[in-house]
């Protein structure tokens, strides 16, 4: 008789965005005549840029010709893409990353969920609170988080780093010493950033206590301010303590086509001298058969001159939405942050309303969908996230509707 992995049974409810999708579907079914504007999940709405589409078509044609057909992709990803990544994302910023340290994948969500597999079950994780739920949930699945307190929403073995108005939504070095530190900047969900010197402090701390930082830089393309680092490898010493995760979803619209990568430097070793690069290569080779050739080819096109110009335009389009949401909510009297270096706006719910109550209220009164802050952790209670990834027309309509209630 089989049994299931009991750690999975510890997970409360379903995944945040699945919960939201279910609620919205139920509302739509009950109100078929209402038009709903979705600013909940951070999913892009602009079509793939022309340079990317062109390369996709070409790559599809290559698959139809025996001379250019491709089967399994190389373990780490095609070298043409890893070279483009190193040149454009790292060399350009003076960051030391080599092509055999880049692991191409089907996206940052899988990588940020899977990377914990290479660490010991007893490692203590530290997370920002609020936090992208994948980091915590996947550690729950791995049996690393202890017991859940439904009252507080906290796991007994997780070290939480509250990110609140008081600390400008920037985590502080925790009192207890973690083994694995998850950081995400620009931050999902708050849209907050930290300066290069603040990130350097984290790198210095991690090296001192021999912790590893899992740095999620999925939103780096949205950075508009000079002093905000695009990569953790801009900091001295990061090669001995940091893994970086990147996505093509947000910077180039690949949410439906799927592409991302993780950097694991060869200088990064566990306290007993095991190379994490070798371990991740072993895991990657065993469990993953590569992002499709046509998608990796399209990923390379993101780094072409046209690709860069066109994706830059898309980012500017979304950031214009962010500005519209930010200013519109401010005018309407909301307390708002984020939206400057990130496509997320983080607002305080009015009159101390609970996050999920505000979700229901907004859906019912304005047919606007956002994400309840408490879904990201206890410190998100009383907050709400709106994304700038909608169309401009929908963004304007959503703000008008919110102002009108």
- Residues near ligand MLT (CB under 6 A) are 41-43, 109, 132, 188
CB nearer ligand MLT, residue 106 or residue 381: 106
Beta partners for residue 184, in sequence order? 216
CA distance 356 to 349: 10
Q: In the bound complex, what is the minimum distance in angstroms from residue 134's beta carbon to ligand MLT?
A: 7
Q: In the bound complex, what is the minimum distance in angstroms from residue 62's beta carbon to ligand MLT?
A: 29
| DSSP class of 86 | I
CB nearer ligand MLT, residue 188 or residue 355: 188
Q: In the bound complex, what is the minimum distance in angstroms from residue 340's beta carbon to ligand MLT?
A: 18
Q: In the bound complex, what is the minimum distance in angstroms from residue 65's beta carbon to ligand MLT?
A: 35
Judged on CB neighbours under 10 Å (0-12, 13-18, 19+), 27 is: middle
CB nearer ligand MLT, residue 214 or residue 268: 214
Residues 6+ apart with CB under 8 A from 394: 37, 38, 39, 45
CB nearer ligand MLT, residue 43 or residue 58: 43
Q: In the bound complex, what is the minimum distance in angstroms from residue 43's beta carbon to ligand MLT?
A: 6
Question: Residue 369 in contact with residue 323, Cβ under 8 Å?
Answer: no
Phi, psi of 330, deg, nearest 5: -60, -50
Judged on CB neighbours under 10 Å (0-12, 13-18, 19+), 258 is: middle
CB nearer ligand MLT, residue 25 or residue 209: 25
| 3 state SS of 103 | strand
349: left (phi over 0), alpha (psi -120 to 50) or beta: beta
The secondary structure of 55-71 as a DSSP string is: HHHHHHHHHTSTTT---
CB nearer ligand MLT, residue 265 or residue 380: 380
Nearest to 248 by CA among 56, 44, 18, 400: 44
CA distance 355 to 378: 10
Q: In the bound complex, what is the minimum distance in angstroms from residue 129's beta carbon to ligand MLT?
A: 15
Judged on CB neighbours under 10 Å (0-12, 13-18, 19+), 170 is: middle
CB nearer ligand MLT, residue 41 or residue 56: 41
User: How far is C-alpha 50 from the geometric centre of its chain's CA atoms?
Assistant: 25
CB nearer ligand MLT, residue 48 or residue 95: 48
CB nearer ligand MLT, residue 55 or residue 109: 109
Q: In the bound complex, what is the minimum distance in angstroms from residue 70's beta carbon to ligand MLT?
A: 27
Q: In the bound complex, what is the minimum distance in angstroms from residue 404's beta carbon to ligand MLT?
A: 26
Q: In the bound complex, what is the minimum distance in angstroms from residue 214's beta carbon to ligand MLT?
A: 15
CA distance 43 to 54: 22
Report which residue's Cβ sits closest to ligand MLT: 42
Beta partners for residue 245, in sequence order? 216, 262
């Amino acid at each position: 008789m089989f049994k299931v992995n009991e750690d999975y049974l510890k997970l409360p409810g379903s995944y945040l965005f699945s919960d939201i999708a279910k609620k919205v579907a139920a509302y739509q079914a009950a109100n078929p005549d209402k038009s709903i504007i979705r600013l909940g999940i951070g999913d892009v709405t602009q079509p793939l840029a022309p340079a990317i589409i062109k390369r996709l078509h070409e790559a599809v044609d290559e698959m139809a010709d025996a001379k250019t057909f491709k089967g399994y992709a190389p373990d780490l990803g095609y070298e043409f893409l890893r070279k483009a990544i190193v040149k454009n994302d790292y060399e350009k910023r003076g960051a030391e990353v080599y092509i055999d340290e880049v692991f191409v994948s089907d996206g940052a969500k899988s990588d940020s969920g899977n990377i914990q597999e290479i660490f010991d079950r007893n490692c203590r994780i530290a997370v920002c609170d609020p936090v992208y739920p994948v980091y915590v949930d996947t550690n729950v699945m791995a049996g690393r988080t202890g017991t859940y307190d439904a009252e507080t929403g906290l796991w007994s073995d997780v070290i939480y780093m509250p990110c609140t108005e008081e600390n400008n939504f920037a985590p502080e070095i925790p009192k207890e010493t973690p083994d694995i530190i998850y950081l995400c900047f620009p931050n999902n969900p708050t849209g907050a950033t930290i300066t290069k010197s603040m990130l350097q402090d984290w790198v210095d701390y991690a090296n001192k206590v021999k912790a590893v930082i899992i740095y999620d830089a999925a939103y780096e393309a949205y950075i508009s301010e000079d002093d905000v680092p695009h990569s953790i490898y801009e900091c001295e010493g990061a090669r001995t303590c940091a893994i970086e995760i990147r996505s093509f979803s947000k910077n180039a619209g690949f949410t439906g086509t799927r592409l991302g990568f993780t950097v694991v430097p060869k200088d990064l070793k566990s306290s007993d001298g095991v190379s994490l690069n070798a371990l991740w290569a072993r895991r990657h080779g065993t469990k993953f058969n590569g992002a499709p050739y046509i998608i990796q080819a399209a990923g390379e096109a993101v780094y072409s001159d046209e690709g860069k110009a066109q994706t830059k335009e898309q980012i500017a389009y979304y950031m214009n939405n962010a500005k519209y949401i930010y200013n519109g909510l401010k005018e309407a009297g909301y307390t708002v942050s984020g939206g400057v270096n990130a496509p997320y706006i983080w607002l305080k719910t009015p009159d101390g309303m609970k996050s999920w109550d505000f979700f229901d209220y907004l859906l019912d009164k304005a047919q606007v969908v956002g994400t309840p802050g408490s879904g990201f952790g206890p410190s998100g209670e009383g907050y709400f996230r709106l994304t700038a990834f909608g169309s401009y027309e929908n963004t304007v309509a959503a703000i008008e509707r919110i102002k009108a209630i």
